Amino acid sequence: MRSTPSLRRLSFFKRMRNVLFIGATALSYVLLRGWPEAWHPITRVLLSVTLLILSLGFLGKASTLKSKKAEPKKSFQWLDRLSATILLLLGSCLLLIVFSITPRVGESLATEFNDILHPELGNKESATGRRSSKANPPNALSSQSNGNWLFPSLGNRPLEKSARLRPSNRPEVYLFPKTIEDTQRLLQTERYLRMFTLATYDHGQWKIDPTIPISHSANDEGTIFFQDNPWEPISYEISHQANFPDQTFAITLPEVASVKLPSLRETAPDTFRLPPPKQESANYRYEVTSTPALFEQIPGPILPGTSPSPLYLGLPENSNLRSKIQHVAQTFDQRRDDCLLQLRRLFESNFQYSLEIEMPDQLDPLEAFLFETHTGYCTHFASATVMLARALGYPARMAYGWSGGRYFRDPQFFVFRAREAHAWAEIFIKDHGWVVFETTPASRAEGIATIAAQDEPSPLEEPDEIGLESQQASFSPLLRATASIGGILLGILLVVMILRRPPSRLIKHLPREQFPIAQPNYLTAFRKACIDRGFPMPPGRTLRAHLHQIEAPNFTKELLSYHYQVHYGDSPRQKAKEKKFLSQLREWEKKALKKD
């Protein structure tokens, strides 16, 4: 018995219904992921929840024949509509709360889980998110929450072989120039904020220098002065979050001339540990004078200076890698003032920048970057630059911090975000000292200087309130308002549910037929299969009568016997047998659809 055109249209409608549901789900996912960015988060959440509920309601429209006994006698009242609306709004509030809190909790759990999987990278964090300082070596560099995508471990900085980095947009460091002249100088050149330097590369990672820590104390005016150099100084203030007790490092423009602080502890060359803040949750803000120098600003000839330490000329202990690096260095023109320019051109023309890398496990990551994949991000470019510069006779070291920054005109300040965490090479030049030598391509994702539009909101609510705490404080009112609205809606819903409940005296006298009688799943599946085969089961017809009217498969005899034994006899229901009937009925239905 073939299906009629109306039944084929019904089957097409069912397929389209599924397509619409999948499309609504995909669109809801895109909205919750943050697109379009111009829309308010609450608008996107409400719209996504509405789409999901509408699509679920549309999907729930059954094409099967309805039984009169399952139809409610009561019509859809205004209280029912109010209940549905309140449930929709409650779902929106719940989603907003979940998507506001979950990322922070997830990041914390991911950090703890990473520490468990990789204990060799450092000490585990406590429940408060702070690392225990007791287990740190005396001159260790602590893993900072600032720029954590770039600084993942204690003391040593591994050069990654495999990574899919997704830096966040979180503000981390603020720089306030002292004068208009200082602002103009910073705007006219690339900006680098340095936190620490490393000199030794061994077995795929950079290590701290084994030096004796040096304590620096302020003079009577409260300022610590360092060695002068010929460059004109820039005066500014730095503000950032306090990371860990006694483990927060000073962040400055390269080549510090003076810092207005009571004391500093130099745990490695040009790496200064700050004194603990007055309050545990306080932010640091201190005045600094620096004399930064970039390679482009150096007048020729550019000759190597006397190395402050033999470490700055050291090559990898791996003899194979060391010989390969020396061989590459020998291909350059031996004119000293041109070698570094040739080195930069080598990276510009033969290497690619990417935050997604995959290198062979059997190779050292530096060797894989230089001689195999030719693809990496800032730490790979800087590491290769340091080693090749040393092979050319130039003292060199790794520097870690931030570069770029976004400038806001009112008030005048620069903000450096997590995505701008950066690593670069520094070369020791004769008569000039340490100089920033950048070889990471200009297309890099981190460290590109930008200027904010005139109407762009400032990341600072107030000049003295910065960092994560101000962000969380600004977001707390939204969460509190959402929770309050959700509580009010829940109270209204309870009142509505009470109003919708009929009086108990009426329930007692309701006839049995007023209550919907749920038919078993296998009987519903049988009715649906009959529709798809073109012989629907009319209302009021029994299962036995309908089986006599159609060409039924053999298993329906067992189904009929089971149905009468359960519903008209004393036999208990058997889930396994009903599951078998459902499977057989679906196969019967599929055969009908294939014939069409």
Q: pLDDT tens for residues 350-378?
A: 999 998 899 998 999 999 999 999 999 99
Q: Is 137 exposed, middle or buried (0-12, 13-18, 19+ CB in 10 A)?
A: exposed
Q: What is the mean pLDDT of residues 293-317?
A: 89
Summarize pLDDT for 138-183 with one digit per residue, the tens: 333 333 445 544 555 546 788 998 888 888 888 999 999 999 999 9
Q: Give domain status of residue 353, yes or no.
A: yes
Flag the least confident range among 252-261, 313-322, 447-456: 447-456
* Domain shared by 97 and 156, yes or no: no
Would you state the structure tokens that stand for residue 205, as one six-digit string? Answer: 């990672």
Question: Is the pLDDT confidence value at 91 over 50?
Answer: yes
SS3 247: coil
Confidence category of residue 438, pLDDT binned at 50, 70, 90:
very high
Indicate if 264 and 140 belong to the same structural domain: yes
pLDDT for 399-424, tens place per residue?
A: 999 998 999 987 889 999 888 899 99
Instruction: Give the residue-averaged pLDDT of 303-320.
Output: 92
**Alpha-carbon gap, residue 277 to 467, rounded angstroms:** 15
The pLDDT score that the predictor gives to residue 445 is 54
CA-nearest of 396, 479, 438, 461 to 206 is 396
Shared domain check, 294 and 211 = yes
User: Token match 């679906």: residue?
Assistant: 586
Instruction: Tell me: do 200 and 310 sit in the same domain.
Output: yes
The whole-number pLDDT of residue 515 equals 44
- Summary count for the chain: helices (H), strands (E): 14, 22
Contact 227, 260 (CB under 8 A): no
Q: Do 316 and 363 sit in the same domain of this protein?
A: yes
Q: Which of 260-264, 272-276, 425-429 has the lowest mean pLDDT?
A: 272-276
Are 178 and 280 contained in the same domain?
yes
The pLDDT score that the predictor gives to residue 132 is: 34
The answer to whether residues 147 and 65 belong to one domain is no
Residue with tokens 């033999």: 310
Based on the number of CB atoms within 10 Å of its own CB, is 430 exposed (0-12), middle (13-18) or buried (19 or more)?
middle
pLDDT: is 358 or 463 the higher one? 358
> What is the per-residue pLDDT for 114?
63
Q: Does position 579 have pLDDT exceeding 80, yes or no?
A: yes
Range of the domain at 404: 118-465
Residues 577, 501: one domain?
no
Per-residue pLDDT for 240 more than 50? yes
The verdict on 533 and 504 lying in the same domain is no
- Rounded distance, CA 31 to CA 42, Å? 10
Q: Which of 5-9, 295-299, 377-381, 411-415 has the lowest mean pLDDT?
A: 5-9
pLDDT, tens only, 38-69: 676 667 777 877 887 777 766 655 444 444 44
Please check whether residue 328 lies inside any domain of the structure: yes
pTM, two decimals, is: 0.57
Question: Looking at residue 137, what is its pLDDT?
Answer: 30
Does 527 lie in the same domain as 407? no
Q: What percent of the chain has pLDDT over 70?
A: 72
The number of folded domains in the chain is 3
How far apart are alpha carbons 190 and 211 in whole angstroms? Answer: 31
E runs forming strands in 146-210: 157-158, 162-164, 171-177, 192-198, 200-202, 205-207
Choose between 495 and 247: higher pLDDT.
495
Is 109 contained in some domain? no
The SS3 assignment for 446 reads coil
Tell me what the pLDDT averaged over the chain comes to.
77
Which of 185-189, 298-302, 471-475 has the highest mean predicted lDDT (pLDDT)?
A: 185-189
Q: In whole angstroms, give the CA distance from residue 120 to residue 290.
A: 36
Q: 12-18: long-range contacts at Cβ-Cβ below 8 A with a sequence spacing of 24 or more?
A: 13/63, 14/63, 17/58, 17/59, 17/61, 18/59
Q: What is the largest CA-CA distance in the chain?
A: 108
- Asked whether residue 212 falls in the same domain as residue 73, the answer is no
Mean pLDDT of 471-477: 46
Same domain, 142 and 45: no
Query: Is pLDDT above 50 for 283?
Result: yes
